Structure 1
């Protein structure tokens, strides 16, 4: 994410924003698609990320929202925004994720990411073509829910470049103009906040100016009108529609609500709670040290004697062709990603951060053996498979 470093992005805020996504996802997963009326008591419990829900997730476990965001981050790593969107690199990450048989995947993403490569072995061309022919009518939230890493990656770029990058990403699965507009506006909001931490009104002003000048779809009405008052917003109809998450995110940005209050109100709205909370929480993520202190405090007070694994764990042994991997074999997609990762000396997301014995500092996981030893003790772990306390 070199352009972000050149622009002097506030990395505490960037990490905090991404942690906000992960925690919003994990909290919302408990209530996702809840059939009954969600009460304040339900929400209070969900905010402790206890697991359960329709997918019987583990404590603090993330879902497709965060897993795809991590996939996008991995695909962008080592590339510069000035060179354009890394279509093929990102497409291969999405295919690999889909190939891992995620326990939750939207219809639009499944159609786009389940493609085979074209005659030249490229996935991006096949993916964009499939999306254009099979997914162009979809106004689902699958692209917006994963777009945050692109906003972080493109900090400091010209506004028109950020917009173009955000729109291009949507074409991999959600080419509908509504989805493209949501991506563009959202990335501008996040990028502004990463350059100007705490300037929520400035972010709203920037978004409004862009919407008035460049957005002609219904997203214009959502931003300028619906996001002013969510008291009558019903998120339980057509639950996967991008409208709900977008309107909620802009509303809470306008109101400058605290992270906790905003996520509480988002979960009370019901529907696709994990996605709505994940998208909203990026704009309200705290600084990294504050976020980690909060997580550590929760862990010390609430960690059970034995960690319960959810009914749909995302462990290495549960992914397709696990036995082949154990014998050193890789699929075509996995091999290409492996070679690219070696070339870029990429550090995988699940190896980035773990807490030390006091739960105060973030330290790198040095070896696989150390990682496995810590995993048995249930550390806070951000990965494409688990995020748990």
Structure 2
């Protein structure tokens, strides 16, 4: 099975991309960002510079001692959510919670404390939403949200946001995290539909207006934690300061901290905007082939299933 991606086209015009190309770019971009950032996760920018110079290759290692090309929970949970959406033609909270539970049973290489706590809560109580918690403003729901954008791309916004909250609240129930996750979901949808990057910047600005803590234009954020505010500050700074996929990802992962997640979120946004052929060929080749094909195939299936579920009204 061939990847269906012409790597000879290195600088496509974003305006000419199809939604299918953008969907593949988003999902493969997520996985590439995850694999690239896993190497520098929990390092400071100074430590990264001392160890790697400029980190720009998928080489594995890092604190998880990963094999080159392997991904972490960001990509794995995205695939688990996407599979559940396909199986049930939408987000059914219990089915998604069960998919996450089954994923955890496989003993993943990495899992966040808030995610683990949410899954254990579901196992013990059968409830598919944790209680509202001011300390649950992590990035774990946002990092896995791509399937919402793909399947619900043509759905009414209200349904899309309800689906986003349903999957998020299995592990994270916090207004700040909800707002950040929903903004990323809407930004990916905008990119899938071919909107200009200035529209994405307007969406980020709207988030800042509603939640000023997200303001990202004051100083360069480095060594971000898993706090969603810091995560999205880094992603927005890199996304809007650079004009191609490669530079956006290099910018993000060389800031260290929770670099696999900032890489994954930046990768899904930049991949949706610039398309799969904007991803350097050596990153395509460096990614685990099975994972790359899974991401590509699920991206196309989710987009197609969503178009069937939410057909665009005829003019």
TM-score when scaled to structure 2? 0.77
Q: Which residue of 2 aligns with 1:25?
A: 34
State the secondary structure of the residue aligned to 2:69: coil
Q: Is the 8 A contact 2:137 2:227 kept in 1?
A: yes
Tell me the distance in 1 between the aligned counterparts of 2:52 and 2:176: 30
Per-residue displacement from partner, 1:332-356 (whole Å, max 9, x unpaired)? xxxxxxxxxxxxxxxx938949xxx
Q: What's 1:266 paired with?
A: 252
Match of residue 223, structure 2, among 221, 224, 235: 235
- Number of residue pairs aligned between Structure 1 and Structure 2: 278
Partner of 2:94: 88
- Taking a change above 3 Å as real, the CA distance of residues 46 and 167 of structure 1, as seen in their structure-2 partners, is same
Summarize the Cα distance change of 1:209–1:108 in structure 2 as closer, same or farther, 3 Å threshold: closer
| 2:284 matches 1:284 | no
Superposition pairs for residues 319-334 of structure 1, below 5 Å? Answer: none
| Shift in alpha-carbon separation, 1:175–1:293, aligned structure 2, 3 A | same
> Where in structure 2 are the equivalents of 1:1-389 lying within 5 Å?
10-34=19-43, 37-40=46-49, 42=51, 46-81=55-90, 85-115=91-121, 117=123, 125-128=126-129, 131-132=130-131, 137-196=135-194, 199-209=196-206, 212=209, 215=210, 219-222=211-214, 226-231=215-220, 233-236=221-224, 239-285=225-271, 286-291=274-279, 293-295=281-283, 349=294, 352=297
Q: Is the 8 A contact 1:185 1:211 kept in 2?
A: no
Encode CA deviations 1:156-203: one digit per residue, 9 max, x unaligned: 122233222222221111001111111111111111110115x11122
1:149 CA displacement: 1.6
The aligned counterpart of 1:323 is none
> CA distance change for structure 1 residues 39 and 104 in 2, over 3 Å: closer, same or farther?
closer
Q: Is the 8 A contact 1:44 1:264 kept in 2?
A: no
How far 1:255 sits from its partner (Å)?
2.9
SS at match of 1:37: helix
Distance 1:261 1:40, change over 3 A: farther
Higher relative contact order at CA 8 Å, sep ≥6: structure 1 or structure 2?
A: 2
Counterparts of 2:53 and 2:19, CA distance in 1: 31
Residues 230 and 155 of structure 1: is their aligned pair in 2 closer, same or farther, counting only changes over 3 Å? farther
Structure 1 residue 109, shift from structure 2 partner: 0.6
d(CA) in 2 for partners of 1:151, 1:60: 25
> Higher helix share goes to which structure?
2
Question: 1:230-273, CA deviations, whole angstroms, 9 ceiling, x for partnerless residues?
Answer: 42x2435xx22111221122223333532222222212221111
TM-score by structure 1 length? 0.63
Secondary structure at the aligned position of 1:31 is classed as coil
Distance 1:107 1:282 in 2: 23
The gaps in structure 2 that reach 5 residues or longer are 1-16, 299-315
Give the match's secondary structure for 2:57. Answer: coil
